[in-house]
Structure 1
Amino acid sequence: MVGRKHFDVARCLRALPTGSTFTMRLVEPKRTGFNFIASYSMPKRMRSILDTNETIRFKADGTVIVQEMPNALIINKINDIFDSYFGFHDNELAQTIWEMISSCKNFNDLKNTLMESEINDFNFPTELYFDLWGSVDDYRNGRLGKIEMPMGKTAADKKLLSEQKL
Structure 2
Amino acid sequence: MIEAINGQSLLGCRHYEVARLLKELPRGRTFTLKLTEPRKAFDMISVRSGGGRPGSGPQLGTGRGTLRLRSRGPATVEDLPSAFEEKAIEKVDDLLESYMGIRDTELAATMVELGKDKRNPDELAEALDERLGDFAFPDEFVFDVWGAIGDAKVGRY
TM-score category by the smaller chain?
0.5 to 0.7
Change (3 A) 1:14 1:106: farther
Give the SS at the match of 2:107. helix
Q: How does 1:64-83 map to 2 (within 5 A)?
A: 64-70=75-81, 71-83=85-97
Q: Note if 1:141 corresponds to 2:154.
A: yes
Residue of structure 2 equivalent to 1:101: 115
Residue of structure 2 equivalent to 1:61: 72
In percent, how many aligned pairs have the same letter?
A: 34
For structure 2, the 5+ residue unaligned runs are 1-46
Number of residues of Structure 1 aligned to a counterpart in Structure 2:
103
Please give the alpha-carbon distance, in whole angstroms, between the structure 2 residues aligned to 1:14 and 1:137: 36
Change (3 A) 1:16 1:82: same
Give the SS at the match of 2:72. coil
Residues 90-146 of structure 1, C-alpha deviations (whole Å, 9 max, x = no match): 1121122222222222222111111222x12112111101100001111111112xx
Give the SS at the match of 1:116. helix
Give the SS at the match of 2:66. strand
Change (3 A) 1:120 1:69: same
Give the SS at the match of 1:67. strand
Q: TM-score, normalised by structure 2?
A: 0.55
Please give the alpha-carbon distance, in whole angstroms, between the structure 1 residues aligned to 2:92 and 2:144: 9
Who wins on radius of gyration, i.e. which is larger? Answer: 1
Please give the alpha-carbon distance, in whole angstroms, between the structure 1 residues aligned to 2:58 and 2:120: 31
Residue of structure 1 equivalent to 2:32: none
Residue of structure 1 equivalent to 2:9: none
Q: CA deviation at 1:77?
A: 0.6
Q: CA deviation at 1:74?
A: 1.6
Residue of structure 1 equivalent to 2:128: 114
CA root-mean-square deviation: 2.7
Please give the alpha-carbon distance, in whole angstroms, between the structure 2 residues aligned to 1:130 and 1:67: 28
Please give the alpha-carbon distance, in whole angstroms, between the structure 1 residues aligned to 2:95 and 2:75: 31
Q: TM-score, normalised by structure 1?
A: 0.53
For structure 1, the 5+ residue unaligned runs are 1-8, 19-45, 145-166
